[in-house]
Amino acid sequence: MKRTRQIAIYLVAAAVLLAGCAGGGDEAASGDDLAALTIPVRTIALETADFVVFGEYYGEVRGISEADLVSISGGTVDELLYSEGDTVSTGDSLGRVDGERAATMYETSLLNERLALQNYEREQRFLNEGNSFQVKVDDAHLRWLQAKSALLDAQKVRDSALIISPIDGTVVARHVELHQEIAPGMPTYSVADLTQMRITVGIPEADIAGVRELDRAYVTVGAFPSRVWEGSPESFARKRSDNTLTFDVDIVIDNPDQLLLSGQTAQVRLALREYADQIVVPSSTVATRGNRPYVLVVESDRVYERTVTIVAADERSSAIRGDIKPGDLIVTEGMNRLTDGDLVEVVGAGATAQGMDAI
């Protein structure tokens, strides 16, 4: 009887031990399951900043002022005094195209103008003295005006024959060769002021709508990919171009070292609109379900959807508002694996939208 009682006690003790071991195994399994349900994510901390919407366009770089010189009467190229890259001043003669003939024509016209003026003044004096008639004075006046007009034409022909530069600048192109026979109206030289450059870009109606003022632009060219020139929008058209169906904007940039050359293609990032004191995030952090944009905010190791409104956006960033505030952590990676309320493990916490590239 005593032995039977001892066996029963042993069986009860064994059952208790087995129950304890079974309980410990369930707790371990629960811990493993919890770890398996936790999803690693990367986040950024929300912060406010001024958000600028940029538009990107292409245009051709030109000197702030340019002059294409042509030979009005044509003829033989007698002399060439300047080459590409040379600096010239207003009034400099760059060469000669039948210069002697043009000079002779100018001197003849100058003399005719002087004689016509003297005759007009003489007839006016005779009229005042009572020795002439008004019709003779008017005729003399007409002849003087005609001679004056002919002189202006002769001066243009002479200046074109002597290839006179009308501006200070740099020779950007020479279109003729020595002793070449050229036709009337043929270009001889091109001169440009390269100390400042002008770029005209066409802005689509959707981009320019509502814009009242443009204050800055950033310009790059393929020849200098690492350099950025800051430009000032000088003006923009209030009427759409019939040719391009866009609105032209002129942008001026300083070019003191004259690295930029006339005719280069430039990429222009033009500041169109600015929104002050906005929460700015990478556009990739804003998801959409139906027509509802949202971000995923991390709170107490879980993520929650927060509906937002997109104030403005470009190809990289978005300005948003909604049930969010500066300092909130939003998910930047792993969003496609998450649903509202999921457990997460944050990686890279404390970064900001501006520092996201460093993560």
Residues 137 and 119 in one domain: yes
> Span 341-356, mean pLDDT?
69
Q: pLDDT for 303-340, tens place per residue?
A: 999 999 999 988 789 999 999 999 999 999 878 888 89
Domain that holds residue 352: 39-50+276-358
Please say if the pLDDT value at position 14 is more than 50: no
Residues 176 and 234 in one domain: no
Residues 76 and 174 in one domain: yes
Please say if the pLDDT value at position 23 is more than 70: no
Distance of CA 126 to the CA centre of its chain: 68
Q: What radius of gyration do the chain's Cα atoms show?
A: 41
Alpha carbons 212 and 193: distance in angstroms, whole number: 30
Residues 76 and 184 in one domain: yes
Please say if the pLDDT value at position 357 is more than 80: no
Residue 190: band (very low, low, confident or very high) from pLDDT cuts 50, 70, 90: very high
* % of the chain exceeding 70 in pLDDT: 87
* % of the chain exceeding 90 in pLDDT: 65
Q: Indicate which CATH number applies to the domain containing 343.
A: 2.40.420.20
Beta bridge partners of 193: 65
Alpha carbons 126 and 289: distance in angstroms, whole number: 97
> Is residue 248 in a domain?
yes
Q: Indicate which CATH number applies to the domain containing 196.
A: 2.40.30.170
**Residue-level pLDDT at 298:** 94
Q: pLDDT for 277-288, tens place per residue?
A: 999 999 999 998
Q: pLDDT for 200-243, tens place per residue?
A: 999 998 888 878 888 899 999 999 989 999 999 988 878 888 88
Output DSSP code: residue 311. Answer: E
DSSP structure string for 148-175: HHHHHHHHHHHHHHTTB-SSSEEEEEE-
Residues 254 and 321 in one domain: no
Q: Which of the residue ranges 27-41, 79-93, 111-125 would you say has the lowest mean pLDDT?
A: 27-41
Rounded (5°) CA angle 151-154-156? 115
Residue 19: band (very low, low, confident or very high) from pLDDT cuts 50, 70, 90: very low
> Is residue 222 in a domain?
yes
Please say if the pLDDT value at position 18 is more than 50: no
Residues 149 and 105 in one domain: yes
Residues 107 and 121 in one domain: yes
**Helix or strand or coil: residue 240?**
coil
> Is residue 33 in a domain?
no
Residues 280 and 270 in one domain: no
Alpha carbons 35 and 118: distance in angstroms, whole number: 109
Residue 290: band (very low, low, confident or very high) from pLDDT cuts 50, 70, 90: confident
Secondary structure element (H or E) that encloses residue 235, with its range = strand 224-236
Residues 82 and 164 in one domain: yes
Question: Is 75 within 8 Å of 98 (Cβ atoms)?
Answer: yes
* Angle separating helix axes 99-129 and 134-161, nearest 10 degrees: 160
**Residue-level pLDDT at 32:** 57
Alpha carbons 300 and 38: distance in angstroms, whole number: 12
Mean pLDDT of the chain: 86
**Residue-level pLDDT at 36:** 60
> Is residue 34 in a domain?
no
DSSP structure string for 94-149: -EEESHHHHHHHHHHHHHHHHHHHHHHHHHHHHHHHTSS-HHHHHHHHHHHHHHHH
Residues 247 and 336 in one domain: no
Contacts of 228 (CB under 8 A, 6+ apart): 218, 219, 220
> Is residue 7 in a domain?
yes
Which residue type, as a one-letter code, is found at position 261?
A: L
Please say if the pLDDT value at position 141 is more than 50: yes
Tell me how crowded residue 76 is: count the other CB atoms within 10 A of its CB.
14
Using the 3D structure, point to which of 274, 295, 330 is the last residue of a domain. Answer: 274
Give the tokens for residue 122. 């003489």
**Residue-level pLDDT at 348:** 65
Alpha carbons 174 and 190: distance in angstroms, whole number: 6
Residues 101 and 125 in one domain: yes
CA atoms within 13 A on the CB side of 284: 13
- Sign of the torsion formed by the C-alpha atoms of 169, 173, 179 and 181: negative
Which residue type, as a one-letter code, is found at position 156?
A: K
> Is residue 258 in a domain?
yes
Residues 151 and 249 in one domain: no
Question: Is 209 within 8 Å of 247 (Cβ atoms)?
Answer: no
Q: pLDDT for 55-112, tens place per residue?
A: 899 999 999 999 999 999 999 999 999 999 999 999 999 999 998 888 899 999 999 9
Number of domains in the chain: 4
CA-nearest of 220, 215, 178 to 197 is: 220
Please say if the pLDDT value at position 9 is more than 60: no
Please say if the pLDDT value at position 25 is more than 50: no
> Is residue 336 in a domain?
yes
